[in-house]
Amino acid sequence: MPVSKTVGARIKRREDPRLIQGLAHYVDDIKLPNTLHVAILRSPYSHARIGAIDTDAAQNLPGVKAVVTGSDIKDTIGGIPCAATDPEGFPGIKVPHHPVLAIDKARFVGEPIAAVAATSAYIARDALDLIEVDYDPLDAVNSADAAFADGAPVLHEDWDDNMAFTWQIAGGDIDAAFAEADHIVSQRIEHQRLVPNPMETRGVLAEYMRGKDQLTIWSSTQIPHLLRTQLSIMLDMAENHVRVIAPEVGGGFGCKLNVYAEEALLGHMAKTLGQPVKWIEGRRENFLHTIHGRDQTGVVELAVKNDGAILGLKYAVTADVGAYYQLLTPAIPTLTGLMLCGSYTFQNVQMDLKAAFTNKMATDAYRGAGRPEATYLIERMIDIAAHDLGLDPLDVRRKNFIGTDAFPHETGTALAYDSGDYTAALDRAVEMADYDALRWQQAELRDQGRYLGIGFSTYVEICGMGPSAAMPAGGWESSTVRVDPTGKVTVLTGVSPHGQGQETTFAQLVADGLGVGLADIRIIHGDTDAVQYGIGTFGSRATAVGGTAMVHAMGKIKDKVIKIAAHLMESNPQDIVLEDDKYCVQGAPESGLTLAEIAQVAHVGVGLPPETEPGLAESHFFEPPNFTYPFGTHIAVVEVDADTGEVELQRYIAVDDCGNIINPLIVEGQVHGGIAQGVGQALYEEAIYDESGQMLTGSFMDYALPKAHNFPRFELGNTVTPSPVNPMGVKGVGEAGTIGSTPAIANAVIDALKPFGVRHIDLPLRPEKLWKLMQERNDDSL
Amino acid sequence: MKFTGTHSVGAIPDRAFDLLTDPEVLARCMPGCETLEQVGDGVYTIGVSAGIGPIRGKYAGRVVLSDLHPPERYTMSVDIKGTTGFVKGQGGVALTSEGEGTQVTFDGDVQIGGPLAAVGQRLHASAARLMTRQLFSAIDAEARAAP
């Protein structure tokens, strides 16, 4: 894609002025008169039978309008949906009913038990203290191992065990690969549970207009249309009487790609109370009852030859999915299975997954969603194999890379990688890092008892989700482009940006495509009454799929504009070009017409070519033929302090290839944020539940998010390998930083501790863990 | 959470035992104790106001003293809950003569849940130590005061 006027330029985000000036409207900023405030009573027990619930005192508190319990609504609000329960994909899957408010039994700490609506948020909170719940505590299941143990307490008593589902993927001839191997490298690897932690917690405002039988839900969501469909089912309302609005959304990272209890509950309460109701999630509630990410533990076996050639990979894994499914819970670990081959040629692969119900919050999509697990384990295994075979981890990667001439490449898991040049990205990163000099420096420092580590991650991931056939709830995307009589352009997009900057990048595409100024373009999203049905923003799909839908709709507009221009200028459409924002006969822009002039004709309806509809608006629904596969090389340089075990991230080099780039500034921003979250997983973050199922890391005092001072200035580079999957050649970059960075950091820290004979350490690599290891073992080289 | 400790009380075991199992003494000495009423043989209802870190609240429930072997040992169980969570524990208390006084050793398991667990967990052990130290120094003061 050629760099033209705006596409490819470092244009500042048009969203930012309102965000940094406090002028954005999040759910909590929307004030409706007469609004009642809702507070949710949550289970303090991880597993307990619920007896009588006495709400009298709460009901009688002045200001309280309603108290709702599970038994009040169990026949009026349907269960919380899961879109990934097809028994063909998950043989024998158990799909428990997931009530909006717990009925008879609480299954995790934070599960909603009752809701209070009151005239102020404070009264609602006070009323919660007056609700008496008769709990009979049961033994808890706090891990997948505990869930599968003999005699384990059973969460869902419709079945007799806690096996939620199993899943398997196999490609090639795994037995032959292992028989042929010189070494079998084996390692148990944990992917710890994480809390997504968007800056804005969830929140819902609901209003019901009885006269029109219309329910409007404002929710901090990534998927307004899918949410509308599900709410209409849960609340048994006609879908065209439900409107969902995602106003400004302060980050999601996957955790708002969901349908939550509170969204349906508030819709129901607005309807029954006849007043608007609002609930804003507190940070402590967010820790307990917004989905978590990762939480897989498995044993990886890698079949390798002495020269480092990888023949095959086996992964036997358990996933701790929590007490119930949320929207995509079972689908997430399947993405791990699909991506097990990484950037490498081996075709023999097998993953056997067992998923356990436990007394915890559900896991679901968190930035990367299943792919970080795949990249982490393959990138770790390559380093372990290099360690065991005495090879340079860089050489092992090069040896096994899929060749640049091998695309499209079919993996052992039946994915078709669209395009790639893995060696080019690696070479660029190695050059930026000055790898040989780093190894010299490392050797010198080791002589002084200082521990420098260098870690690689050469990732490939799935973006542009995706073909509908491969998705649980549609993978296409929609766009309508409208040109007003005055020539202003409005884009209605089915994606729902919440930090990704599409109000800027989409406007860049329109500015260049139709010949209008950026200021004349408005991107509307997130309102189901305004925008045609769409799927939403997740899986780094908004530009690759939603942007493509818009480009196609814009192409239809342009065809019509050219047809009208040709008619007005008594020329042939094939002779009309867009030059200097004028539609003109080639080489004569001075006699051309602007979009505004043509739009006026289209709307006046006089002077149009024969057989031409008046007006100027076109829609397009784009079904992508494939996913896209961005890739890159990340290099981390760390020093581990022998006295404290603290990891200093000294340098971070990231070379990402996300195909063609519309706005480098936005791409860099996405990579920065992604790296930050990946570093969080590598060094700091872990959601911990104790034996009784209590979440011990339920606030920022105990759940460590990285802060700006934990990062060096990231050194970013890129290569450009366009994707053949869409006409723009874009791939997606929302999750690359997270997927690439965790293994690079882990490999660097473990490389630093090589003198101590360290081969693997599970994440997060907290100082106390590293310090203990360094105390227990001696540096053999000294 | 395992919960163990040893404290000294300035009285012979017979008297220390009486003090430790006397609801009126306990009500006076237990930090944050607002009410303590006997409702059965060795069974008491209790109301406590306490705070750990940022989590402050009122808790109510029962305390049961059982398996009483004066002046050597008894078992104590606590089951209280409030708006900010719950505390459930059981443990053995052993008294041994130590010079003029008594050494009191306890060894139990405590389970903490709700917001109290999610937010205050790093402070649990130190808060529990602080509160038991306050309890025993108050009992020690009672013991040293004229009977």
pLDDT confidence tier of residue A2, bands split at 50, 70 and 90: very low
Contact residues, chain A, for B81 at CB < 8 Å: 44
pTM score, whole prediction: 0.95
Q: Do A696 and B121 touch (CB under 8 A)?
A: yes
Give the mean model confidence (pLDDT) for residues A482-489: 98
* A44, A129, A697 member nearest B113 (Cβ): A44
Range of B39's domain? 2-144
Q: How many domains does chain B have?
A: 1
Q: Is the pLDDT of residue A588 over 90?
A: no
The residue of B121, B122, B123 whose CB has the most chain A CBs within 10 angstroms, and thus the best one to mutate to test that interface, is B121
pLDDT confidence tier of residue B119, bands split at 50, 70 and 90: confident
Q: Do B113 and A697 touch (CB under 8 A)?
A: no
pLDDT, position A778: 76
pLDDT, position B121: 74
CB atoms within 10 A of CB B57: 18
Give residue-wise pLDDT tens across range A158-184: 999 999 999 999 999 999 999 999 999
b/e code A120-144 from CB counts within 10 Å (16+ = b): ebebbbbbbbbbebebebbebbbbb
Q: Is the pLDDT of residue A597 over 60?
A: yes
Give residue-wise pLDDT tens across range A187-235: 999 999 999 999 999 999 999 999 999 999 999 999 999 999 999 999 9
Give the mean model confidence (pLDDT) for residues A252-263: 98
C-alpha triplet B116, B119, B121: angle, nearest 5°: 75
Q: Do A698 and B119 touch (CB under 8 A)?
A: yes
Give residue-wise pLDDT tens across range A763-782: 999 999 999 999 998 766 55
- Residue A421: its H or E element: none
C-alpha–C-alpha distance, residues A359 and A162, integer Å: 10
Q: Is the pLDDT of residue A523 over 50?
A: yes
Q: Do A44 and B112 touch (CB under 8 A)?
A: no
pLDDT, position A42: 97
ipTM over 0.90: no
Pick the residue from chain B with its C-alpha nearest to A108: B114
pLDDT confidence tier of residue B125, bands split at 50, 70 and 90: confident
Query: What's A35-91 look like in SS3?
Result: CEEEEEEECCCCCEEEEEEECHHHHHCCCEEEEEEHHHHCCCCCCCCCCCCCCCCCC
C-alpha–C-alpha distance, residues A58 and A67, integer Å: 7
Q: Is the pLDDT of residue A730 over 70?
A: yes
Asked if residue B16 lies in contact with residue B102, where contact means CB atoms within 8 angstroms, the answer is yes
Mean pLDDT rounded to a whole number for chain A: 96
Q: B110 forms bridges with which residues in the sheet?
A: B89
Least confident of A483-497, A576-590, B45-59: B45-59
| Contact residues for A84 (Cβ-Cβ < 8 A; gap 6+) | A90, A325, A327, A328, A329, A330, A331, A472
CB atoms within 10 A of CB A316: 14
pLDDT, position A782: 56
* Distance, CA of A244 to chain centre: 21
C-alpha–C-alpha distance, residues B112 and A601, integer Å: 73
Say what percent of chain B tops pLDDT 70: 98
Q: Which domains does chain A have, with CATH numbers?
A: 28-138+199-251+256-289 (3.90.1170.50), 370-464+627-776 (3.30.365.10), 476-622 (3.30.365.10)
Asked if residue A193 lies in contact with residue A108, where contact means CB atoms within 8 angstroms, the answer is no
Asked if residue B99 lies in contact with residue A29, where contact means CB atoms within 8 angstroms, the answer is no
Q: Is the pLDDT of residue A413 over 90?
A: yes
Q: A279 forms bridges with which residues in the sheet?
A: A204
Q: Do B121 and A287 touch (CB under 8 A)?
A: no
Contact residues, chain B, for A129 at CB < 8 Å: 83
**Which CATH number does the domain housing residue B66 bear?**
3.30.530.20
* A45, A46, A699 member nearest B119 (Cβ): A699
**Residues comprising chain A, all counted:** 782
Contact residues, chain B, for A134 at CB < 8 Å: none
Give residue-wise pLDDT tens across range A289-311: 999 999 999 999 999 999 999 99
Q: Do A694 and B81 touch (CB under 8 A)?
A: no
Please report, in angstroms and rounded to a whole number, the separation of the first and last CA atoms in chain B.
36
Q: Do B114 and A109 touch (CB under 8 A)?
A: yes
Q: B69 forms bridges with which residues in the sheet?
A: B73
